[in-house]
Amino acid sequence: MRGQWRWVVVGVLLVLGALASSGAVWLHWRACTGPQVSTADWVYAEDPGPVLGDACLQAMDDGFSFLYPDGKGPFRPEALFGLALALLVAASWAVVLLSRTWRRSTRAAGALTLGLVLLVAVLGLQPRSGAMDRVFTPVQLVLGLSVLLTLVLVLVQDAGSARDRARAALALCGPAAVGFVAFAADYSLMVTISEADWDTPPWTGTPTVVATALAGIAVLILSGRRRRPAPAEAVTGTA
């Protein structure tokens, strides 16, 4: 039971991380909302300027990332929501590493992933500069590769139960959310959906929010109490 509660904590932290990330998405793209803007405007508009307005166009030009040193001040609300996402998913993955005895290689890869998530969080609070641009993106890329390596080790090499492996794989959606691979996948999906893609389509980041929330919910479902089979009834007979 104690081990099950650890997985419940993992699921709750992932859901909280999704809520924090939704705050970052909303604050960045709220300029693209309003009664004059419909979903069709940012999905189909090849020239969104006249409809979406200057503030929305500026948000598109600025681009979106949950964590990136953008020079606007690291402690503004949007950045703090991104920081909360990083800390919550780092905490959830730390609980995963403590949830059972992993093989040495799996634990090493998982610890590297945890360290990179925390490093991304720290770097995201730094002022933007040319040197920071050259450092931050490679760190995010290495984080994405570390997540993939950890996933392979969890699924292929580790000898834990199938349910533990599934929950650990789902929990990796948390660290992946602040890595480059997730950002690239998120952006690619939104560009496919929206014609208003100069430079970043409105509401980029939403797929990551949804994926993180669903991963947390799935972990919680897999951590529910399993029904134990009824004990076999004693069979009596006469000699």
127-176 per-position pLDDT tens digit: 777 777 788 889 989 999 999 999 999 998 876 788 888 999 999 999 99
Task: Report which of 201, 206, 153, 208 is spatially closest to residue 180, judged by C-alpha positions.
Answer: 208
Residue 135 located in a structural domain = yes
Q: Does the residue 140 lie in any domain?
A: yes
- Does 216 reside within a domain? yes
Q: 214, 177 in Cβ contact below 8 A?
A: no
**Chain center to CA of 148:** 14
In a domain, 64, yes or no: yes
- Number of compact structural domains in the chain: 1
Give dist(CA 8, CA 155) in Å, integer.
20
pTM: 0.84
pLDDT digits (tens, 9 = 90+) for 40-81: 445 445 555 456 677 888 888 887 888 775 656 667 788 889
pLDDT tens column, 115-131? 999 999 888 887 777 77
* 230 occurs within a structural domain: no
Range(s) of the domain holding residue 155: 2-222
Q: Please report whether residue 46 resides in a domain.
A: yes
CA-wise closest residue to 172 among 216, 210, 119: 216
**Residue 179 resides in a domain:** yes
pLDDT over 60 at 38, yes or no: no
Q: Which of 174, 147, 157 is nearest to 16 (CA)?
A: 174
C-alpha of 123 from chain center: 17
Indicate whether 187 belongs to any domain: yes
